[in-house]
């Protein structure tokens, strides 16, 4: 039975909480290296701190997906996990940036910070995954591109807010410099405000969205005979469509590239523009704030690039070109010595990010129709995001030594990885004409006029 069309606002409500979750994710991705460098971490060890986020993702998301496939409560099957994850994230966001203010020794501070980072990423993953599952559960094939476009818009909007918070709070007068080993107040207040927005957005989604009860859900989500019984993860992976693995190969290179950006870009921008990588200096903290602004520019660029994507006749070509532009952007970072000149690379990185946000899930969810266990499969597909980050993090210190101990050179490594991802797009098979309809913000504009 065909799933009913949903109004624009119902599609919006399905994903609105993603705005708050993405603020938390943006604060984490743009400030974790800054926090640990401020606390005293060595640059060659910095990538090891980034093992925890993807490790938690690869463990948590399949579990959340599988458990939520089997959960039926009066609040829904996905929403309980969303709310619990958000509640834990809020508590941790208030603790993590205060790691250096507790009077602990350096080793104790690092252990406490790592524990908080582990809990933060676990809770963010737990809150993030249900939004992708809700779209898979409740949105028909014709509207799925529109639904993921809305989710992409909210993702980018949340990213912009989270990225610019430290810069904004510094601008209004909150201290951006602190004693050695202590995180500046501008970062601490960014996490406080982000936590408040997160819980308010999730409460909105929880009160506005009503998931289908079991009988109605099965009516709209029939499963091919014999598929539902194969619930073991290894069995599910063996039965996964080839598109699952081909998109995963692209993901491998792209997410490894992003891991190196998140890990080293603050030092790279500070080194290239301000000539220092010493976290005690005010110049370094200024560079860190400016990097947040550059991240926000990347997010805005992603939204704008989504308006250009429909002009491509092929989704695969659009995907590949976007990743090529992103790779070029990474490689240009060490060659842009001016503060405002750094905007150019991040505009290009935004093109790659736009494609990475929606296209993989559009390919995979369409390929998975009729396979059942949508939540489990999407949780397992998250491994194509997490595993490359874990491998890249383990190799980060060695790669940094190989490229001459310069964090800026790691951006060239990211560029090469992203270009390899673009080349791997050629292996993907487009299942149907539906997947050739590119997700873009045009869909949002048209939907607003229709509704």
Q: Using one digit for the tens of pLDDT, what is the confidence trace for 107-159? A: 888 888 888 888 888 888 788 878 777 887 788 877 877 887 788 788 888 98
- What average pLDDT does this structure show over 426-438? 60
pLDDT for residue 98 is more than 80: yes
Backbone angles phi, psi at 73, to 5 degrees: -130, 170
Query: How high is the pLDDT of residue 431?
Result: 57
Quote the pLDDT of residue 374.
66
Full-model pTM: 0.77
pLDDT of residue 298 exceeding 90: yes
Topology of the domain comprising 8-223+232-450 = Growth Hormone; Chain: A; (1.20.1250)
CA atoms within 13 A on the CB side of 108: 7
Q: Where are the domains of the chain?
A: 8-223+232-450
355, two tokens: 């494609």
pLDDT of residue 371: 65
Helix, strand, coil fractions of the chain, as percent rounded to 5? 80, 0, 20
Contact 441, 375 (CB under 8 A): no
Going 388 to 269 to 291 to 302, the CA torsion angle's sign is negative
Element (H, E) at 93: helix 79-95
Confidence band for 436, pLDDT divided at 50, 70 and 90: very low
Task: Check if the beta carbon of residue 47 is closer than 8 Å to that of residue 55.
Answer: no
Q: What is the pLDDT of residue 444?
A: 39
> Under a CB-based contact definition with an 8 Å cutoff, are residues 158 and 22 in contact?
yes
Which ranges constitute the DSSP H helices of 368-429? 374-381, 383-402, 410-424
**40's torsion region: left (phi>0), alpha (psi -120 to 50) or beta?**
left
Per cent of the chain over pLDDT 70 is 90
Q: What is the pLDDT of residue 438?
A: 44
Q: Does the structure show a pLDDT above 50 at 340?
A: yes
Give the model confidence (pLDDT) of 176-216 as tens digits. 988 888 899 999 999 999 999 999 998 998 888 888 777 77
Residues pairing with 73 in the sheet: 76
- The mean pLDDT value for 301-317 works out to 84
C-beta of residue 52 within 8 angstroms of C-beta of residue 92:
no
**pLDDT attached to residue 231:** 58
In contact, 301 and 347? CB cutoff 8 Å: yes
Q: Are 413 and 278 in contact (CB under 8 A)?
A: no
Q: What pLDDT is stored for residue 447 in this prediction? A: 37
Q: Pick from 144, 105, 119, 130: which is nearest to 55 by CA?
A: 119
Question: CA-CA distance, 383 to 375, in Å (whole number)?
Answer: 13
180 within 8 A of 204, measured Cβ to Cβ: no
- The pLDDT, as a whole number, for residue 264 is 94
The Cα–Cα gap between 283 and 340 comes to 16
Strands (E), 36-176: none
Q: DSSP character for 44?
A: G
pLDDT at site 60? 76
Of 108-112, 256-260, 267-271, the range with the lowest mean pLDDT is: 108-112
Other residues' Cβ atoms within 10 Å of the Cβ of residue 102: 11
What distance in Å separates the CA atoms of residue 386 and residue 56, rounded to the nearest whole number?
A: 8
Average pLDDT value for the chain: 84
pLDDT at 6 over 90: no
Answer whether 310's CB lies under 8 Å from 440's CB: yes
**DSSP structure string for 66-81:** HHHHT--BTTBSSHHH
What does the alpha-carbon distance between residue 451 and residue 447 come to, in Å, rounded to a whole number? 6
97 burial class (0-12, 13-18, 19+ CB within 10 angstroms)?
buried
Q: What is the DSSP letter of 98?
A: G
| Averaged pLDDT, 297-325 | 88
* Cβ atoms 445, 364 nearer than 8 A: no
* pLDDT higher than threshold 90 for residue 265: yes
- CA 59 to chain centroid, in Å, comes to 16
State mean pLDDT over 349-377: 78
Tokens for 394, please give them. 């383990």
Rounded to the nearest 10°, the torsion over CA 33, 39, 45, 47 is -20
pLDDT level of residue 442 (50, 70, 90 thresholds): very low
d(CA 329, CA 93): 31
**pLDDT for the residue 437:** 46
pLDDT one-digit tens code per residue, 159-174: 899 999 999 999 999 9
Q: Looking at the predicted structure, is the pLDDT value of residue 306 above 60?
A: yes
Please count the residues of the chain: 451
Which one, of 438, 413, 388, lies nearest residue 58 by Cα?
A: 388
Gap between the Cα atoms of 396 and 410, Å rounded: 9
According to the model, what pLDDT value does residue 376 have?
A: 72
Residue 233, pLDDT > 70, answer no
Phi, psi of 440, deg, nearest 5:
-155, 170
pLDDT digits (tens, 9 = 90+) for 45-93: 888 888 877 787 777 767 777 777 777 777 777 888 888 889 999 999 9
The torsion angles phi and psi of 101, rounded to 5 degrees, stand at -105, 10
Lowest mean pLDDT among 12-26, 190-204, 320-334: 12-26
- Average pLDDT (99-112) is 85
235 compared with 6, residue with greater pLDDT: 6
Model pLDDT for residues 385-415, shown as the tens digit of each residue: 888 999 999 999 999 999 988 889 999 999 9
pLDDT at 15 over 60: yes
Q: What is the pLDDT of residue 443?
A: 37
CA torsion angle 256 257 258 260 (round to 10): 90
């Amino acid at each position: 039975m065909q799933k009913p069309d949903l109004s624009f606002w119902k599609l919006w409500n399905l994903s609105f909480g993603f705005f708050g979750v993405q603020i938390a994710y943006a604060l984490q991705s743009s400030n974790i290296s800054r926090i640990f460098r401020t606390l005293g971490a060595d640059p060659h060890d910095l990538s090891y701190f980034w093992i925890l986020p993807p490790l938690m993702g690869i463990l948590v998301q399949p579990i959340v997906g599988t458990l939520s496939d089997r959960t039926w409560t009066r609040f829904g099957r996905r929403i309980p996990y969303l709310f619990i994850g958000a509640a834990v994230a809020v508590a941790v966001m208030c603790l993590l940036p205060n790691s250096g203010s507790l009077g602990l020794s350096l080793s104790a501070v690092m252990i406490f910070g790592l524990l908080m980072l582990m809990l933060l990423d676990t809770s963010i993953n737990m809150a993030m995954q249900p939004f992708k599952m809700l779209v898979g559960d409740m949105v028909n094939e014709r509207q799925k591109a529109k639904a993921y476009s809305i989710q992409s818009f909210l993702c980018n909007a949340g990213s912009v807010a989270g990225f610019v918070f430290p810069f904004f709070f510094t601008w209004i007068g909150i201290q951006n410099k602190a004693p050695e080993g202590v995180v500046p107040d501008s970062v601490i207040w960014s996490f406080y405000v982000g936590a408040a927005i997160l819980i308010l957005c999730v409460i909105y989604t929880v009160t506005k969205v009503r998931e289908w009860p079991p009988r109605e859900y099965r009516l709209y989500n029939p499963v091919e005979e014999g598929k539902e019984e194969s619930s073991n993860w290894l069995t599910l992976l063996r039965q996964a469509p080839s598109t699952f693995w081909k998109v995963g190969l692209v993901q491998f290179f792209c997410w490894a590239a992003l891991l190196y950006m998140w890990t080293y870009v603050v030092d790279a921008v500070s080194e290239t523009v301000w000539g220092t990588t010493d976290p005690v200096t005010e110049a370094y903290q200024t560079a860190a704030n400016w990097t947040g602004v550059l991240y926000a520019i990347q997010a805005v660029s992603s939204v704008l690039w989504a308006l250009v994507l429909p002009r491509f006749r092929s989704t695969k070509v659009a995907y590949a070109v976007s990743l090529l532009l992103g790779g070029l952007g990474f490689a240009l970072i060490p060659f842009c010595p001016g503060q405002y000149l750094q905007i150019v690379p991040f505009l290009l990185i935004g093109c790659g990010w736009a494609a990475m946000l929606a296209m993989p899930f559009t390919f995979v969810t369409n390929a998975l129709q009729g396979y059942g266990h949508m939540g489990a499969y999407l949780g397992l597909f998250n491994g194509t995001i997490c595993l490359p980050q874990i491998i890249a993090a383990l190799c980060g210190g060695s790669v940094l030594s190989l490229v001459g101990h310069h964090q800026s050179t790691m951006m060239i490594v990211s560029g090469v990885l992203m270009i390899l991802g673009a080349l791997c797009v050629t292996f993907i098979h487009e299942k149907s004409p539906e997947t050739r309809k590119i997700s873009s913000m045009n869909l949002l504009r048209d939907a607003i006029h229709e509704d």
